[in-house]
Amino acid sequence: MILVMRRGFCTDVAGHRFRRSSNSSFTLRFDKRSDSMNITASIPQKLLQIQGAMRVVEATNDDRELRIYMSFAEPVMNTSAEILAALTATGAVLTPTNRSTLGNRRFGFVVNKISSTAVVTVACDTSSVISRQGTPVYSSQPFTFLYDTRRPSVKLATSTVRTSSHTIPVLIKFEKPVFNFTSSAVQLSGGKLLSFHEASKSIYTMQILAVDKLVSVQVAENTAQDVAGNPNLPSDRLQVRHYSVPASSSSIAIIATVIFAATAIVATLLTVSTSSLIASGAMARPSSYSISEPSRNLLVI
């Protein structure tokens, strides 16, 4: 609503008519709309699969110039100190930036005193925040981000460290989910990579063909990053010894198996034949137990 003095509606003592000036009008803004608030930060966003669902995660490993911003759709009557008093932060301490508030529309706060790994959540109690129109301010959802400076470690595992199989399975397990990890990050000697599969962002599997007696596998450092941007540490070196069974040993084992099987068959047939002759009366029953059980003699031999 605008109130304006009408031109020439009065004169002074000398007869001069009234002239409008900058103070001859009054503007009244009447707004019953509720104010809204939003919490943002200068933190990179990444898309991460959590429990089967894709979610946007905000994470960082850099605490330099780390700021949280409170943005309002309409100007508020509060000061930076009053806005700070309405904020709660878990795992961190907030201090005002003492910069321009864009007409009490945007307040910035520096995030301090964070541990090496922390999940920081910032929330605002808007009951004490008043818009310039005197209407209430609706609070936004709490803002949560991850601060992590630990580099992810990685371990290698296999079914056995000594094998005669030409195919060697290798399991790669990171301490936490990583990004941009490929087979080119694997340092391999004594073998050839047959397959590489990503089971999850923290678990990978490989199949290696052994070409030498000693197969060595290692994951190089700085070849993958976690959600906060920390590069991985190098893995321990996994060594698998590959051996071949001599052809002569295989032949001896096969021959021994055949001889044992033939002996068992002959002993069984001899036992059956002897029992049949004794039953028909063609042969008298011997008194010696060893004669009546030829199979035992053969098996003992």
What pLDDT is recorded for position 300? 47
The pLDDT, as a whole number, for residue 13 is: 75
Partner residues linked to 49 by β-bridges: 54
> Is-contact 50 25, C-beta < 8 A?
no
CA 170 and chain centroid, separation: 20
Indicate if 154-242 has the same CATH topology as 34-148: yes
Type of residue at 180: N
Q: In CATH, what number does 34-148 get?
A: 2.60.40.1220
CB 158 within 8 A of CB 171: yes
Q: Please tell me the predicted confidence (pLDDT) of residue 284.
A: 58
In the chain, domain spans: 34-148, 154-242, 248-300
pLDDT attached to residue 261: 74
At 203 the pLDDT is: 96
* Surface-to-core class of residue 240, CB atoms within 10 Å of its CB (0-12 exposed, 13-18 middle, 19+ buried): buried
Return the pLDDT at 248.
54
Predicted local distance difference test score (pLDDT) of residue 298: 46
Q: Tokens at residue 24, please?
A: 């001859």
pLDDT tens by residue, the chain, 301 residues: 777 777 766 777 777 777 777 676 776 665 555 668 899 988 888 877 767 788 888 999 998 889 999 999 888 999 999 999 999 999 899 999 988 889 899 999 999 988 889 999 999 998 888 888 777 788 788 999 999 999 999 999 999 999 988 999 999 999 999 999 999 999 999 999 999 999 988 999 999 999 999 999 999 999 999 999 999 999 999 999 988 766 555 566 677 777 777 777 777 767 766 666 566 655 555 555 444 455 455 444 4
Domain 154-242 fold is Immunoglobulin-like (2.60.40)
Q: How confident is the model at residue 17, as a pLDDT?
A: 76
Q: How far apart are CA 32 and CA 74, in angstroms?
A: 12
pLDDT at 225: 94
* Distinct helix (H) and strand (E) counts, the chain: 4, 22
Q: Which CB contacts under 8 angstroms, 24+ apart, belong to 235-238?
A: 235/153, 235/154, 235/155, 235/156, 235/172, 236/155, 236/156, 238/156, 238/157, 238/158, 238/170
